[in-house]
Chains A and B, each alone.
Chain A
Amino acid sequence: MTTEIVRTKELHKVYDQNGPRPYEALKGITFSVEQGEFVGIMGASGSGKTTLLNIMATLDQPTSGSVEIDGQDVTHLTANQMSDFRSEKLGFIFQDFNLLETLTARENIALPLSLQNKKPNQIKQAVDAAATKLGIAELLSQYPTQLSGGQKQRVAAARALVANPSIIFGDEPTGALDSTNARELLDTLTDINQQGVSILLVTHDPFSASFCKRILFIKDGRIGDEIDANGKSRNAFYQEILEKLGTFEQ
C-alpha cells in the first residue's frame, strides 16, 4: 500500500481579487504525490508553477480548494502554524544553496532544528546523521566559503533533510547554476529520493525534469498532461519530455 503525501483538490488562486484587474493564476488543480515519489511540475514561465508550489509549501494561501500534506489540511492555518508546519514537515532546496556564510556547515544544517527548539544533543545527533547520509560528515566545522559548489549543495540538502520532512520542495533549484553544479544537485536529489524521501520540483528546464520519476505539465493554471518514467533510462525519459513539450506547447 502506498500513502499520499500531498493531495491538492480543485486549487484556485486569483491574484488581485478585489483589485481592478483580478488575475486567475490557478484554475482548478487536482493531483497527488505518493510517499517516496520524485515528481516534477513543468510549464512555461508564467504558467503558475511558483504559485502552486507556494500554496503547497504554506507560503501562500489558495483562493479556494484544499491542500493536504501528510494527512493534514494546510490551507486554513494561522501564520505561526504555517511557520511551525514548514519547520517540522517540509524541506526546501533553494537556488544558490542559500547557506548562511557566517555559520559553519553544522550550524547551517542545524537551523531547522534550532527553530523547533530541539535539545542540543538531539540536534547534534540529527545533524551527524544527515551529514553522514550525504557524505559530508568531515566538513561540518567548515564555513561555506571553504567548501566547493558540490559540497555546499550537499550541506543545503542536509539542511532540507535534517528535520525528517514529509516532503522536499524545490522551485527551479538549478535555475541559477552552471551545468556542472546543476548536475551535482540533481544527483544529490536522486540520492536522497532513493533513500525514501519524497521530492517535488518545479522547473521549466527539461534536463532537470528528466531526473524526476513522474512529470505533471501545467499550462495556463491547469494540469494539461502527465508522463511517467516507468523505469526508462534518464536519457530516454529526457527525449520523451522534449517530445511532449513540442506537442504540449502548441
Chain B
Amino acid sequence: MLFKISIAGVKSRWKDYVVLFSGMIITTAIFYMFEAISTNNKFTTSSPAGQNAKFVFIFGSILLAIITLVYVFYANNFLMSMRKHDYGLFMMLGAKSRVISKLIILETLVIGIMSTLIGIVVGIGFTQGLSSLLSHEIHVPLTNFSAFYLPAVWVTIILFFVLFVIAGLMNARTFMKTSALKLLRSNQQSDWQDPKKRTLIGQAILGLGLLAGGYYAMYDINQLKLLAIGIGLVTIVLGTYFVFNSFFVMILEMVQSSKSSMAGLNNFTIAQLKFRIRDYTKILSVVSLLFALALGAITVGIGFQRMVPMIANGNSAYAVGLTNPTRQMKSLVGDLDVSSQVTYQQKIDPAAKTVYYRASQLQQRPMKYAYFTNRSQLKSKVGTASLSQLKNPSSEAYDSLVNLQAPASRTFKIKLVSDTSFDQLHAKQNTLLLVRVKDMDAASNTLTKLTKLQSRQYGQSMTEMPGGGAFSTYQLLKGVFGSFEFMGIFLGIAFLAMLASCLMFKILSGAASDKVRFEMLNKIGARKSVLTHSILLQILGLFLLPAVLGIVDVAFGLQMFVKSHLLQGAYQTFGWSAVGFSLLYLIYYGITVLVYSKIVVPKTKVEK
C-alpha cells in the first residue's frame, strides 16, 4: 500500500526527479571518469604523461570524493524536501514511523543505486570521448588506455553505495525528529530579524580586510614563500564568509533604502535575497571558494598548455631536422602546414668530430634561428643566421644548427666550407631537411609520427629526441606538464559542475516552502511576469555573488604564479577561461530558474 502511494508520489513529480537523477548521474559519471584514468595503473605508468600524473591524481581523487560527499548531501536534501509532504501524509494515515523510516532508506538507496549504475555507463562513454579529446586537443598521448576499467567501476560503486547508505540513514533520522504535522505543513516560517547595523559594518570591514590580507600574501609570494599559501588559505576562507554574511547584505540594504525599492516586487526580491544570503552563507562561501579553485585550476592548466609551444618555439625556429629523410617521411612533411622548409647538404667526418656544410648554400638560403627576447615572459623572435654567426660557436645561431643534427653527430663541431673543399671531402653526402611549422599543436600528431620513423631510422629509443628542434622540447614539456594540464582542466570542470549543482539543489530544496509566498503574491495580484522577474533576480544574485568573488580570488591568486615566474600570459588565459567557465555556470543558473519557477509559480487557470 505505502509502496504504491510512494510510486504515485514519485510519478506526480517526475520532472523534478529527472533533474535530481541527471545531476546524480553526471556526478557518478565524472567520478568514474576520474577513477578510470587515475586508478588505471597501466596508463599511469607507461605513458610519459602518466608517470607524473600518479601523485597528482591521488590528490585529485580525494578532493573529488569530498565534493561528491557534499554534493550527495545537497541532492539528498532536495529529495527529502520533495517527499516530506508524502511522508507526513503516511503518518497521518497511521503508518508506523519505523515503516516509513525503512521506506525512506529504501527510496534513497533505489535512487542512489539506479543513478550510480546509469552514471557508470555514461561515465564509460565520457571517458572514451575524453581520451580521444585529450590526445587530439591537448596532445597528451594516452597509451594502453581503455575506457572500461573494472577497478574503477568497483571504486565508484562502493563509494556511492556508502554515501547513499549514509544519506538514507540521515534522511530517516531527520524524519524521526519531525512531527507529522510539520512534515505536512513544511512552510518553515523563518525567524528573520534584520542584522544590527554595527555588527554588519564591523563584519564587512573585517571580511574585506581579511580578503585584502590574503590577496596581498599571494602577491608577495617571493618574500613569504610557502607561508603565503597558508596565510592566503586562512584569511580568504574567513574573509569570504564574512563578506557574504555582512558586506553583501549591507549593499543590499543600501539598495533597499533607495526609492525604487518600493516599485513592484523589488522590495520582496531584495529582502528575499538578503535573507537567502545570510541563510546560505556557508554554502555560498564554499561555492565561491570552489569556484575560485576550479577556475584557478583551469587557468593554470591551460596556462601550462599555452606555455609549452611558446617555450618550444623559443628554443628552435624549426620543428624538426630530418637527416636523409625517407620518401615516407617526405610525404608526412607534405601533410604538414609548413611555413618554411629548407634543405642543406652535409658531410660528416667522425674522426674529426665535425660536420661540414656548404657556405654557399647557407648564404643563398639562410637558416632561421630562434632566440628569446624576454625569457621570463617567454617572448621570442626568429632571426636569420649570417655566415659569421654560424662560424662563431658561441652564437645562438650556431647552437641552433648543432641541435638540429642527427643524434649521433649532435656533439660534433660544425664547419662551413667552400664548394671546392666540400666536394673534396671523402664522405657520404647527406641532406638535412629543416621544417618550420605554423602551429605546433596542430602539427603535433604528424610530427609524432615523423619522430617515430626517425628513431627507427637512427635505431634509437624515443627518449633521445631524434628530431632535435622545437618539437623535441615540445614533447618533453608535454610529458612533464601534460598531467597538470589534464588535472587542471578536468578537475576544474568537474568541480564547477558539482558545485553549481550543489547550489542548484540547495535553492530547489527551499522551493517547496517558498511556494506559499508566491501563491500569496499571486493572489494579491502580482503578474506572472513580475513573479518570474523576481525569481530571475533572486537566483541570479545567489549564483552571481559567489562567482564574482571567486573570479576576484583567482585574479589575485594568479599573482602567485606570475610573481614566481611559474606561468606566462596568465591573465589572458584567465580571461578566456573565466568566460568559458561562466557560460557553463550560466547553464546551471538557467536550469535552476526553470525548475524553481515550475515549483513555485502558481499556474494561471485560463482555459479560454
| Interface residues, chain A, with chain B CB atoms under 8 Å away | 54, 57, 59-61, 63, 76, 78-80, 82-88, 90, 92, 94, 96, 98, 100-103, 107, 110-112, 114-117, 120, 123, 143-146, 159, 176
**Which residue of B has the minimal Cβ distance to A171?**
B523
A85: chain B residues at CB < 8 Å are 525
Measured between beta carbons, the chain A residues less than 8 angstroms from B604 are 79, 82
- Pair B265/A146 contact, Cβ less than 8 Å: no
Task: Kindly supply a per-residue 1/0 record for chain B positions 191-228, scoring 1 wherever the CB is within 8 Å of any chain A CB and 0 otherwise.
Answer: 11110000000000000000000000000000000000
A–B complex contacts, Cβ < 8 Å, 15 sampled: A79-B527, A79-B528, A80-B528, A82-B604, A83-B525, A86-B525, A96-B187, A100-B272, A110-B262, A111-B268, A112-B524, A114-B262, A115-B524, A120-B259, A144-B192
- Write out, one digit per residue, whether chain B residues 440-467 have a CB within 8 A of any chain A CB (1) or not (0): 0000000000000000000000000000
Q: Write out the residue numbers on chain A whose beta carbons fall within 8 Å of the beta carbon of B526.
A: 83, 87, 115
Residues of A within 8 A of B530 (CB): 83, 115
Residues of chain B within 8 A (CB-CB) of A146 are 193
Q: Does B361 contact A (CB under 8 A)?
A: no
- The reply to whether B516 and A61 form a contact with Cβ atoms under 8 Å apart is no
Contact partners of A80 in chain B: CB under 8 A:
527-529
B61 touches A (CB below 8 Å): no
Among residues of B, the one whose C-beta sits closest to the C-beta of A17 is: B607
- Known contacts A88-B525, A115-B525; decide if A60 and B267 are in contact (CB<8 Å): no
Q: Are B605 and A61 in contact (CB under 8 A)?
A: yes
Taking the complex as formed, is B189 at the interface, i.e. its CB lies under 8 A from any CB of chain A?
yes
Considering the complex, which residues of chain B in the window 170-198 have a beta carbon less than 8 Å from any beta carbon of chain A?
Answer: 185, 187, 189-194
A100 touches B263 (CB 8 A): no
CA distance A152 to B444 in the complex (A): 72
A61-B193 contact in complex given A87-B525, A114-B263, C-beta closer than 8 Å: no
| A244 vs B216: C-alpha distance when bound (angstroms) | 80
Task: Give which listed residue, B259, B516, B525, B608, contacts A98 with CB less than 8 A.
Answer: B516
Taking a contact as CB atoms under 8 Å apart, the answer to whether B193 and A143 are in contact is yes
Tally of A-B Cβ pairs under 8 angstroms: 107
B605 adjacent to A102 (CB under 8 Å): no
Q: How far is the CB of B375 from chain A (nearest CB, A)?
A: 58
A90 (CB) vs chain B CBs: closest residue: B525
Partner of A101, one of B191, B520, B521, B607: B191
The size class of the interface chain B forms with chain A is 35 or more
A31 CA to B557 CA, complexed, in Å: 72
Specify which chain A residues have a CB less than 8 angstroms from the CB of B528 in the assembled complex.
Answer: 79-80, 83
**Besides A114-B264, A115-B525, A145-B191, 20 other A-B contacts (C-beta < 8 A):** A60-B605, A61-B605, A79-B606, A86-B525, A87-B524, A87-B525, A92-B524, A96-B187, A100-B268, A100-B272, A101-B189, A102-B275, A107-B271, A114-B267, A115-B530, A120-B262, A123-B262, A143-B194, A145-B192, A146-B193
CA A100 to CA B191, docked complex, whole Å: 10
> What A residues does B259 contact at CB under 8 A?
120
Tell me, rounded to whole Å, the shortest Cβ–Cβ distance linking A238 to chain B: 28
Given A101-B190, A102-B271, A114-B263, answer yes or no on A78-B525 (Cβ-Cβ < 8 Å): no
Alpha-carbon distance A219/B282, docked complex (angstroms) = 53
Q: Is the CB of B267 within 8 A of A103?
A: yes
**Neighbouring B residues of A110 by C-beta, 8 Å:** 262, 267
Interface centre among B262, B275, B517, B526 (most CB of A within 10 A): B262
CB pair A86–B189 under 8 Å, yes or no, is no
A103 to B524, CA, bound (A): 16
| Nearest-neighbor residue (CB-CB) of A89 within chain B | B525
A59: which of B187, B189, B523 is its contact (CB, 8 Å)?
Answer: B523
Q: A63 to chain B: which residues have CB within 8 Å?
A: 607
- Contact flag A115-B523 (CB < 8 Å), given A61-B605, A79-B604, A143-B192: no
> For residue B191, which residues in chain A have a CB less than 8 angstroms away from its CB?
101, 145
B211 to chain A minimum Cβ distance, whole angstroms, is 27
Q: Report B-chain residues with C-beta under 8 Å of the C-beta of A90.
A: 525
Question: How far apart sit A94 and B523, CA to CA, in the bound complex (Å)?
Answer: 10
CB neighbours (8 Å) of B192 from chain A are 101-102, 143-145
CB distance from A225 to the nearest CB of B (A): 29
Q: Which 5 residue pairs across A and B have the least CB separation, nearest first?
A: A87-B525, A86-B525, A102-B271, A83-B527, A102-B275
CB closest residue in chain A, given B188: A101
Question: What CA separation (Å) do A76 and B266 show in the bound complex?
Answer: 30
CA distance A220 to B519 in the complex (A): 27
Return chain B residues, CB-CB under 8 Å to A107: 267, 271
Bound-state CA distance A138–B524 (Å) is 24
Q: In the assembled complex, how far is the CB of residue B73 from the closest CB belonging to chain A, in whole angstroms? A: 26
Contact with A along B263-300 (1 / 0, CB 8 A): 11111100110110000000000000000000000000
A98 to B92, CA, bound (A): 24
Q: Per-residue CB proximity of B527-538 to A under 8 Å, as 1/0?
A: 111100000000
Alpha-carbon separation in the docked complex, A80 to B264 (Å):
14
Residue of A at shortest CB range from B524? Answer: A112
Which chain A positions have C-beta within 8 A of B193? 143, 145-146
Question: Is the pair B264, A57 in contact by a Cβ cutoff of 8 Å?
Answer: no
Docked CA distance A116–B523 (Å): 14
A92 partner residues in chain B, CB cutoff 8 A: 520, 523-524
The complex places the Cα of A102 from the Cα of B249 at a distance, in Å, of 13
A110–B268 alpha-carbon span in the complex (Å): 11
Min CB distance B181 to A, Å, is 10
Q: How far is the CB of A27 from chain B (nearest CB, A)?
A: 18
Please pick, from B520, B529, B605, B606, the residue contacting A78 in the complex, using a CB distance under 8 A.
B606
Contact, CB under 8 Å: A117 / B606: no
- Which residue from chain A places its CB closest to the CB of B278 in the assembled complex? A102
A111 x B523 contact (CB < 8 A):
no
Contacts of B194 in A (CB 8 A): 143
A151, chain B: closest CB distance, angstroms: 15
Report which residue of B265, B525, B607 has the largest number of chain A beta carbons within 10 angstroms of its beta carbon. Answer: B525
Decide if A61 touches B264 in the complex (CB within 8 Å).
no
A84 to B524, CA, bound (A): 9
Residues in chain A near residue B265, CB distance under 8 A: 114-115
A115 to nearest B CB, angstroms? 5
CA distance A80 to B426 in the complex (A): 98
Q: Which of A101, A117, A120 has most B Cβ within 10 Å?
A: A101
Q: Report the bound CA distance from A79 to B608 in whole Å.
A: 11
User: Using Cβ atoms and an 8 Å threshold, which residues of chain B touch A102?
Assistant: 190, 192, 268, 271-272, 274-275
